[in-house]
Structure 1
Amino acid sequence: MDSITQALLGAALQGSLLGRIQGRRALAYGAALATVPDLDVFVHYADPVSQMTFHRGFSHSLFMLTGLAVVITAVVMALARWRWPDHGYRWPRLLLTFWLVLVTHPLLDAFTVYGTQLLWPLQVTPQSWAGVFIVDPVYSVPLLLTVLYAAVVGLGQRARRLLTVALVFGALYLGFGVGARLLTEQRFAAALDAQGIAHERVRAVPMAFNTFIWRVLATTPDGHYYEGVSSLFDHAPPEMQRQPLHLEAAQPLAGVALHERLRWFTDDWLRYDVIGDALVVSDLRMGTPSDYNFRFVMARRDAQGQWQAVQPSRWRGSHAGGLVDRQMLALMWRRIFSQTPPLPLAAWQALSVEGDAAR
């Protein structure tokens, strides 16, 4: 999730577990320690596909972070014995605190759709549980309020109890998000079955800032996919549209290492578009309907009209603007509670096609 929420989670954890000993400093220490896994953003990679697929890698590994927790605990205990003989620290509690502050960062990230390599260096598909949007005020605001309260009044028993309540609420909310995703996928699959539409995989992703309305994808055996929108409050089948994956366009990328890595990282939720002389590969999982955040130019036609794989670059039409477009957000929020009128998926798709053609 976003860095502020990660810092708040670390502050709440360390404040609730070590606040009695460290006082308000526990909040600052926990917030700082919780940001450590994201220091990989300062590693520079040669291309955006590598930047995307190596992020949330080694620094988010449960193995690496467990080892780091042991090292930090040993250092703190050694310093405490030297400088503060009456520190009150105990190995088990200190180790548990540091471990939780560190590993809950990648675990929280894994509840988003991006993909988190919890088991690095094992080359398993990154975890992408898609239970919450990358920014969700329902999860973040309780942490913010309780951390601010503890910072003002101190880490007394009441403040530590409130921090614990916020943490438990957050855990329950994450569970609710995963349950809502599974229910949404089941509903979408049932809607496809009712129309006699064969499908292979179904994937639901929360739309901006909530867990009540979901964008849903379903692939078909004939190389197409259905993209739709479904709310937990729906009583009728969701609106959806059929679009091509253009899998045949991927042939120039056969055997290309970065393309294979992108397929692995996204669990192969990819679409291919020939736009002018560029082959654009889109990650279908993130963005709004027909406006995907991660799009990469991975091949180009040469002077003889032959496709050649190139070092990936961001397609100049890829952006995150759809996440904050006020008009689109207003339509989405209204759609949570009412299916009439449906979201204009076809119109959004047409705008996306027109935008690509103009670039």
Structure 2
Amino acid sequence: MDTLTHALSGALLARATAPMRPAPGELTSGVRTTVGFVAAAFPDCDFVLRLFDPLTYVTLHRGVTHSIILLPAWALLLAWLLSLILRQRYSWRAIYSTAALGIAIHIAGDVFTAYGTMLLAPFSRHRFAIPFTFIIDPYFTAIIAIGLVAAMLRPQGRRPAVIALLVLGGYVGFQGVLHSHAVKVGEVYAENSGLFEAEVHAFPQPLSPFYWKVIVSHGDDYQVASIDLWRTHSRKPPDPASGILGTWEKIAAGYQPASAAKWIRRGRFGDTDSQRHLAHEAWTQDIFAPFRRFAAFPALNRIEPTGNGVCVSFLDLRFTVPSLPPSLVFGLCRDSPAGPWRLEHKQGLF
């Protein structure tokens, strides 16, 4: 989830849980909303990991700052800092519960995306994910924003915020139903293709809650389809000269009805023997271990000759969108056939 949406969700939850008449020493509605906003943005402070290198950021993002085990400590630290910033007008005790709620709703929001969140850090690096919502979902954000604005128009009322949270929960539940339908599409394809031991996964996509990527995984090979659960007829190709709108139309055209889905084979190590040998050699290098741990559906991106050397790059199929460059592309390069491998980060969409 993007940081702004997280922050707005924290502000909305703070309003929804605000007392009707704050007692002396308790946060006013305005201060409580601000604390919720700041606290819900706080876990993404781990962006500072980018100062080291992109792979460190990608593999450690949503780690210790997103841990439910460390949540009480982060809430305490944040409450203390905000108390100082507010010149101790409010004690850290008055701020603590709102700060904890803000951090908690951030963590919950991230769990419903495909990236994965290390809820048990620092004791475990396992990433928990319930992939119902795309990382940037305008409908998700709009529900929060409308509820927050409505709540602010009624300073002493919290009903609009409560209603917005209920609607938001209903929207996520609806996405869960769509996720089940997308998985079913993959299961039918796997059965019809004789892939009886394959695993089927579905991931939300941008622009519409009805757009899904379905991955049928069997060994080092994947069958991938981008489907539209709403349409029953295939889209027409967009006009190449339609500018920015054409770009959006081109992305949307990549999602076809389940009955007309185009299944594309992707391999972890490519298609030919020469590709597989070189890709496997690069993939198994010790310096590539962080990406191996992170990538849930790794596939060969490309092999590029560079003079006497070569670069081998990989992507994670979770982060590809039709008609757009893939995100989070990493690989290794060497300057000669016998030379050492070094890490390489390819510029992608994000």
Count of aligned positions: 305
Q: Given the alignment of the two structures, is residue 170 of structure 1 paired with residue 200 of structure 2, yes or no?
A: no
Deviates more, 1:20-29 or 1:64-73: 64-73
Change (3 A) 1:44 1:108: same
3-state SS in 1 of match to 2:72:
helix
**Pairing of 1:339-358 with structure 2 (within 5 A):** none
The one-letter amino acid paired with 2:294 is F
Does structure 2 conserve the Cα–Cα contact (< 8 Å) formed by 1:283 and 1:294? yes
The aligned runs of 1:58-137 (5 Å cut-off) are: 58-70=64-76, 95-137=96-138
**Cα displacement string for residues 201-245 of structure 1 (whole angstroms, at most 9, x for unaligned residues):** 222111113221101122223x32111022323462632122322
Q: Please say if residues 183 and 201 of structure 2, whose CA atoms lie closer than 8 Å, have aligned partners that are also in contact.
A: yes
CA distance change for structure 1 residues 286 and 65 in 2, over 3 Å: closer, same or farther? same
**Secondary structure in structure 1 of the residue aligned to 2:134:** coil
Residue aligned with 1:308, SS: coil
Give the 5 Å matches for 1:207-246. 207-221=205-219, 223-233=220-230, 234=257, 236=259, 238-246=261-269
Question: Counterpart of 2:12?
Answer: 12
Find the counterpart in structure 1 of residue 286 from structure 2: 256
1:295 aligned residue (326, 329, 348): 329
Whether the aligned pair in 1 keeps the contact of 2:49 and 2:56 (CA below 8 Å) is no
1:146 counterpart SS class: helix
Please report how far the alpha carbon of residue 54 of structure 1 lies from its aligned counterpart in structure 2 after TM superposition: 1.1
Kept in 1, the 8 Å contact 2:267–2:299? The answer is: no
Deviation at 1:195, TM superposition (A): 2.8
What TM-score, normalized to structure 1? 0.75
**Higher RCO, 1 vs 2 (CA within 8 Å, ≥6 residues apart):** 1
CA contact (8 A) 2:11 2:37 kept: yes
The 1:268–1:156 alpha-carbon spacing in structure 2 relative to 1, beyond 3 Å, is same
CA contact (8 A) 2:186 2:201 kept: no
Aligned partners of 2:264, 2:200: CA distance in 1, in Å? 14
Match in the other structure for 1:41: 47
Structure 1 residue 181 displacement after superposition: 1.7
- Cα distance in 2 for partners of 1:44, 1:286 equals 19
| C-alpha separation in 2, matches of 1:64 and 1:244 | 38
**Please, which runs of 5 or more residues in structure 1 have no aligned partner?**
321-359
Q: C-alpha displacement at 1:268, in angstroms?
A: 4.8
Helix, strand or coil for the counterpart of 1:279? strand
Matches within 5 A, 1:184-195: 184-195=182-193
Could you tell me how far 1:144 is from its partner in structure 2? 0.6
Structure 1 residue 270, shift from structure 2 partner = 3.9
Residues 278 and 73 of structure 1: CA distance in aligned 2, closer, same or farther (over 3 Å): closer
* Root-mean-square deviation (Å): 3.0
Quick check: 1:54 aligned with 2:54? Answer: no
Partner of 2:236: none
Residue 40 of structure 1, CA deviation: 1.2
**Shift in CA distance, 178/97, structure 1 to aligned 2, threshold 3 Å:** same
Retained in 2: the 8 A contact 1:228–1:240? Answer: yes
The structural deviation recorded for 1:19 is: 5.8
Any idea what SS the aligned residue of 1:236 has?
helix
Specify the alignment match of 2:311 in structure 1. 278
Distance 1:83 1:103, change over 3 A: closer
Percent same amino acid among aligned pairs?
23
Q: Which amino acid aligns with 1:3?
A: T
Letter in 2 for 1:69: A
Q: 1:273 to 1:202 in 2, by over 3 A?
A: farther
Matched-pair contact (CA < 8 Å) for 2:268–2:298: no
What CA deviation, in whole Å up to 9, does each residue of 1:260-284 have, x standing for no partner? 2222223353435322210101111
Deviation at 1:285, TM superposition (A): 0.7
- Do residues 306 (structure 1) and 304 (structure 2) align? no
Change (3 A) 1:38 1:235: closer
| Structure 2 gap segments, 5+ residues each | 23-27, 231-256, 271-275
TM superposition shift of 1:8: 0.9
Q: Report the 3-state secondary structure (helix = DSSP H, G, I; strand = E; otherwise coil) of the residue aligned with 1:62.
A: coil
**CA distance in 1: counterparts of 2:83 and 2:57, whole angstroms:** 37
1:66 CA displacement: 2.1
Structure ranking higher in helix proportion? 1
**C-alpha deviation, 1:255, in angstroms:** 4.9
